Amino acid sequence: MKEIFLTAEEIAQKKERLDKLIKELLPKVRDDLRVARAQGDLSENGEYDEAKNEFKKLDAERQALEEELKVAKLIDINKIDTTVVGDQCVVKFKDLKSGLEYEFKIVAGSAAKYADKKISNESPIGAALLGHKVDDVVEVRAPAGTYQYKILNISK
C-alpha cells in the first residue's frame, strides 16, 4: 500500500475506530460465535453464519485500518499547497457538458464519503484532478463515460 496523507484529526478517528474494533466489536462477535457454536449443528445455524460473516467484515476493516495507519503520513492542513490539486484539498469544479458545479475534498481512499463531499484520490475523478490548477480542463474516464471538468477553485 502506498503512503496516504491524513490530518491529525483523521489519524485520531482511525485510531479510535481501530481501538473500538479491537476492544469491543470483535470480542463481542467472538462471543456470539461461541454461543452459536454451542447450539449444535453448524450447517443449519443461521446465527452462526451471521456471526461468522460479521466477524469477517469487522476483521477485514481492522486489517485495513492497521495497514492505513502503517503508511499514513501526517499532513499539516496549514501547509497544503492550493496552487494545484492534492490530497486534502477542497476542489470546486464544473461539468462542462451539464454546467453543474461540484465541490469535494480529495482524501485517501478509506476516508472517502460521497455524502460528506469527500472523494478518494484513487477514484476516477479524484485521480484525474490531482496535480491540476485552477482553470485547467480535466478529462475523466469513468465507467459511465468520459466527462470534462473545469477546475474553478482549490482551497483548504
Q: Give the pLDDT confidence of 88-128 residue by residue, as tens digits.
A: 999 999 999 999 999 999 988 777 888 999 999 989 999 99
Question: What is the C-alpha to C-alpha distance for residues 105 and 116, in angstroms, rounded to an integer?
Answer: 9
Can you give the pLDDT at residue 111?
Answer: 78
Q: Which residues contact 43 (CB under 8 A, 6 or more apart)?
A: none
CA distances from 64 to 47, 58, 101, 113 (A): 26, 10, 33, 16
Nearest to 117 by CA among 143, 95, 91: 91
Can you give the pLDDT at residue 43?
Answer: 65
* CATH 3.10.50.30 correct for 78-155: yes
Question: What is the C-alpha to C-alpha distance for residues 43 and 60, in angstroms, rounded to an integer?
Answer: 24
> Are β-strands 101-107 and 118-120 bridged in parallel, bridged antiparallel, or unpaired?
parallel
CA distances from 96 to 137, 138, 149, 151 (A): 9, 10, 6, 10
CATH class label, 4-74: mainly alpha
Can you give the pLDDT at residue 42?
Answer: 62
CA distances from 8 to 12, 79, 80, 112 (A): 6, 13, 14, 16
Q: Which residues, given as ranges, of the chain have pLDDT below 70?
A: 1, 40-45
The pTM assigned to this predicted structure is 0.67
C-beta atoms surrounding 87 within 10 Å:
20
Domain boundaries, the chain: 4-74, 78-155
Can you give the pLDDT at residue 79?
Answer: 83
What size, in residues, is the chain?
A: 156
